[in-house]
């Protein structure tokens, strides 16, 4: 198992060097990569759809600073679009209800929400609308 762990550490180190990762993400990734390498070496096939790993993600932790994880398939995005949710047979409203998000919760990364909010404040559309009405 030591060889598997060493290989997994090298892979995760490279991944952590290319993007920001939390300590929990690093630990879970090392475990899953080491187990995956061990399973492949032993000749066991890995399940194509690992529902237990997807179900283990806490909805509160799915929306991160730089990404948001789809709780249906486990993939990470900057924004979970309605088109992606349609692949799972869900609408954004149904997805939010299923996982306990507020109706107003944006399904995108926190940094993107902040950028959009700052851009809208800079545009000051509410002032433009008031001038046209006068």
pTM of the model: 0.54
The architecture (CATH level 2) of 56-134 comes to Orthogonal Bundle (1.10)
Q: Are 80 and 91 in contact (CB under 8 A)?
A: no
Q: Quick one: average pLDDT of 70-95?
A: 93
E strands present in the chain:
68-69, 76-77
Q: For the segment 101-112, what is each residue's pLDDT rounded down to a tens digit?
A: 999 999 999 999
Contacts of 48 (CB under 8 A, 6+ apart): none
pLDDT of 77 higher than 60: yes
Where residue 100 falls among pLDDT bands split at 50, 70, 90? very high
Where residue 132 falls among pLDDT bands split at 50, 70, 90? low
Bridge partners (DSSP) listed for residue 68: 63, 77
What ranges do the domains of the chain cover? 1-46, 56-134
Q: Quick one: average pLDDT of 110-129?
A: 90
Q: For the segment 26-72, what is each residue's pLDDT rounded down to a tens digit?
A: 888 888 888 888 888 777 765 554 444 445 688 889 999 999 999 99
For the chain, what is the mean pLDDT?
84
Q: Please state, in angstroms and rounded to a whole number, the distance separating the CA atoms of residues 132 and 73.
A: 47
């Amino acid at each position: 198992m030591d060889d598997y762990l060493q290989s997994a550490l090298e892979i995760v180190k490279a991944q952590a060097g290319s993007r920001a990762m939390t300590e929990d993400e690093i630990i879970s990734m090392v475990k899953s990569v080491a187990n995956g390498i061990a399973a492949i070496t032993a000749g066991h096939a890995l399940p194509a759809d690992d529902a237990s790993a997807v179900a283990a993600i806490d909805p509160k932790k799915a929306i991160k600073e730089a990404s948001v994880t789809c709780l249906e398939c486990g993939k990470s995005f900057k924004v979970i679009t309605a088109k992606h949710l349609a692949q799972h047979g869900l609408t954004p409203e149904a997805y939010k209800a299923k996982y306990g998000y507020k109706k107003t919760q944006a399904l995108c990364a926190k940094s993107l929400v902040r950028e959009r909010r700052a851009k809208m404040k800079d545009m000051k559309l509410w002032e433009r609308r008031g001038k046209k009405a006068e």
